[in-house]
Amino acid sequence: MLHYVLRRLIFSIPVLLLSSILVFTVVHATADPTALMRSNPRVTQADVARVRQQLGLDRSGPAQYIGWLTHFVRGDWGESLITGAPVGHDIRRALVNSAILGAAGILLSLLIGVAIGVVSALRQYSTFDNLSTGAAFLGLSIPNFWFALMLQIFFGLYLTRWLHLGTPLVYTAGMTSPGTTGFHPLDFVRHLAAPALVLAVQIVAIYSRYTRASMLEVLHSDFLRTARAKGVGERRVILRHALRNALIPLTTQVGIDVGAIAAGLIITEQIFQWPGMGKFFITAMTNGDYPQILPWLMVTVTFVIVFNLLADLAYAALDPRIRYA
């Protein structure tokens, strides 16, 4: 197992390096941090030249890349051109907020999706199976932005009016209520519920279909018939033998979903004004904030690669045959 882990780690290093070159090249070719300055008639060419020198844009491309990568690895990610705040601090805060929202949505999806998939496989072609299949296709068909807007209208307007509430039962924007200080668990959950539900709708559908298909394949395997012949209880056969093997395909999808959280849930965060990585990216792109865009992209790429690696390692843990392939 150790050799398998080391081999996968070694393979990930050049992927990260090539990704950093691609990220830097694309951003360097498309983003001009001095564009906003040039549109200001009070800014002189000397001011533009001074800013380009401060950002290292007056050097050659390879020199800029090496300097940027060196500072990025050291944790010096520069300062925002708009606010002057350290980029590293802003990204860490946004990443934590996205991680909270993403973890809530994925955990909810796993609990519901895996349960539905297992029951559907055990009761194939039953009424429950047919209903869950139809619900899964409906969930996959619903656009996130439309469902988010419908939830905002329902919780923020109609439900509040029907129940004669002073404040909505579930809040529809932000992470905390205006004027609150400190951490209030109930208030936070009321803000988290709606965006987490939007995130979970499509993921539940995906996870339930993956689990159902895998369980149907595993349930007809020879090793399950052998386990039953040896007198192993049905619950243990399903939970310990069948479900463990059925989770292997789902592991890859979960790894990809968790890694993608670092990019932020752009649509959901923008609609619900959740201050995560998605909203951070939209703001940085709108402002043309070059020092914010580069670290955001690199953090996103790194998370995707790392969690794909972790998914491969989880694969090997669930199926020992993989590590010897």
pLDDT in tens, 100-147: 998 899 999 999 999 999 999 988 889 998 999 898 888 888 888 899
Mean pLDDT estimate for the chain: 83
Quickly state the pLDDT bin for 318 (edges 50, 70, 90).
low
Q: In the predicted model, is pLDDT for residue 149 greater than 60?
A: yes
In this predicted structure, what is the pLDDT of residue 131? 93
208 neighbors 136 (Cβ within 8 angstroms): yes
- The domains of the chain, with CATH numbers, are 94-324 (1.10.3720.10)
The Cα 122–Cα 210 span in angstroms is 14
φ and ψ at 189, to 5 degrees? -65, -35
Rg, C-alpha atoms of the chain: 24
In the chain, which residue ranges form alpha helices assigned H by DSSP? 2-30, 35-38, 45-54, 61-74, 87-122, 127-141, 144-153, 159-162, 185-219, 222-229, 234-236, 243-260, 266-272, 277-287, 290-318
Residues in the chain: 325
Provide DSSP, 212-246. Answer: HHHHHHHHT-HHHHHHHHTT--HHHIIIIIIHHHH
> Residue 246: its pLDDT value, please?
82
**Residue 30: which pLDDT band, with cuts at 50, 70 and 90?**
confident
User: Torsion angle of alpha carbons 175, 178, 184, 188, nearest 10°?
Assistant: -20
Q: What is the mean pLDDT of residues 148-163?
A: 88
Mean pLDDT of 7-33: 80
Contact 204, 109 (CB under 8 A): yes
